[in-house]
Amino acid sequence: MTTPSPIVMLSARQLSQAIHARQVSCEDVMQAYLAHIAAVNPGANAIVALQDEAGLLAEARAADAALARGESAGWMHGMPQAPKDLAMTRGIRTTYGSPIFRDNVPATDSVVVERVRQAGAILIGKTNTPEFGLGSHTFNPVYGPTRNPYDPTRSAGGSSGGAAAALALRMLPVADGSDFGGSLRNPAGFCNVFGFRPSMGRVPYGPTPELFLPQLGCEGPMARTVEDLALLLGTQSGPDDRTPQALPADPVLATLSPANVRAALDVDLTGKRVAWLGDWAGYLPMEDGILQLCEQALRFFPDFGVQVDAIAPPYPPEKIWQTWLVHRHFLTGNARMALYTNPATRAQLKPEAIWEIEGSLGQTAGELYAASVQRSAWHQALQRTFQQFDYIAVPTAQVFPFDVTQHWPRSIAGRPMDTYHRWMEVVVAWTLSGCPVISVPVGFNAVGLPMGMQLIGRPRDDLSVLRLAAAYEKVRDWVGSRPPAAVAG
């Protein structure tokens, strides 16, 4: 084991400040990251499609030359980035984890990729993902599995598992991810980092052929500190004419910088209230130890003035699951229908993809409308909860990181799982809500496996959720205090 370079151990905020103060050169930064990736990525398989070293160093030298002329592209100037392999990257292979797209090289960037490039980031490759992002375990036939930074025999979660593992192992300063069924949250919990699912429309999603229906999938930031998370969210968010559902710019997020982000997040939370929903009164099976870690974390909330109260489920959870299945089949199945109707590509789809597509084949307009009515009723029930409480807290996952060779957990606490995503049902209600959700680390079980907790805020109140997480981070900095052995020095 080699001691990591001090450069890769800096937070993204610190790295940005060091680059702009000319304390480190962009070339130094690139060399340090590439050397670190060479040392630790073989054991994790988090970063894929790594680009040519000579070309990356040339880009870094160009970034240094720009700074020498007094020109900075933005706070990410000269910082290495590796977008998730579901995001299109101009000139860099984008496989979606599917053998069908093994050699796909897009001519354009996704919106989130375009924005980090504009902020000065240098793209060094991609982060691994399951096929089409289906399932919360990162493995695919193109690149293989991504392994957990704390135990390589275990899953890193998914579908942003490559991003979370790369962050935890200090191979990236910040990372992007996407989330439909917990894909920014579950891997964050499994890898002891922060993952943020923004409010619906906060981060423009696309480009995509269909612009008006995709309300459940979104892109967002992952980071090792809440400050870094907020900075990347500020870069990703804001309206885009190509995406009609994008929210207007948030005036605070839009003006965040390494110099002001700490002050923007530091507010008095005295009097705020958190509703602890736990396992939905026993409805959700949980592996031993998860509820206890979350409850231990919540005991620190009064330290910064926040009251925590346990509540009964505000809505029948089985109804939430049923409307989820309809929406999931409709959106996921129809998006991949062309691959199913072509026999050559259908033969290369994994069973979970076929199951989603076939689940959409018999759907009627009436069933979809009824599911949307049910989702609307859940929204109204949630708003009644937010009349009494400012936030809701639930575990990030129902199991600790599991065997990396297992496709998905078949049972939890003796209860069988009837779908490939039933084991992560704890994230579903919050996807349907459109609310901002952050996964914060809550510690480790007896064998050293990480876990996280979701903190949910009111619709479009992303900044409030970040501020709560920042206050918690001050009293329980699990990322800084418990790095993986490979980077512990």
Q: From CA 188, how far away is CA 452, in angstroms rounded?
A: 7
Catalytic residue among 16, 98, 136, 159: 159
Mark whether 183 is an active-site residue.
yes
Q: Which residues contact 390 (CB under 8 A, 6 or more apart)?
A: 272, 273, 274, 457, 458, 464
Please list the residues that pair with 415 across neighbouring strands. 412
| Per-residue H/E/C for 310-351 | ECCCCCCHHHHHHHHHHHHHHHHHHHCHHHHHCHHHHCCCCH
Find the catalytic residue in 11, 25, 136, 183: 183
Q: For residue 250, what are the contacts with CB-CB under 8 A and spacing of at least 6?
A: 202, 237, 238, 462, 463
Helix (H, G, I), strand (E, B) or coil at 132: helix
Residue in the structure block whose two tokens are 């919050």: 430
Q: How far are the Cα atoms of 280, 368, 427 from residue 320, in angstroms, in the given order? A: 12, 14, 11
Residue with tokens 């996407």: 178
Active site residue 11: no
Alpha-carbon span 92 to 167, nearest angstrom: 20
Given 5, 84, 136, 464, which residue is catalytic?
Answer: 84
Q: How far is CA 254 from CA 18, 20, 257, 263, in A?
A: 22, 20, 9, 15
**Annotation says 160 is catalytic:** no
Q: Is 157 helix (H, G, I), strand (E, B) or coil?
A: coil
d(CA 217, CA 229): 19
Kindly list the distances between the CA atom of residue 144 and the CA atoms of 4, 55, 128, 152, in Å, as whole numbers in the listed order.
26, 26, 9, 13
Within 8 A by CB and 6+ apart from 311, the residues are: 275, 276, 277, 385, 389
* CA of residue 233 relative to chain centroid, distance: 11
Which sequence positions are flagged as catalytic? 84, 159, 183
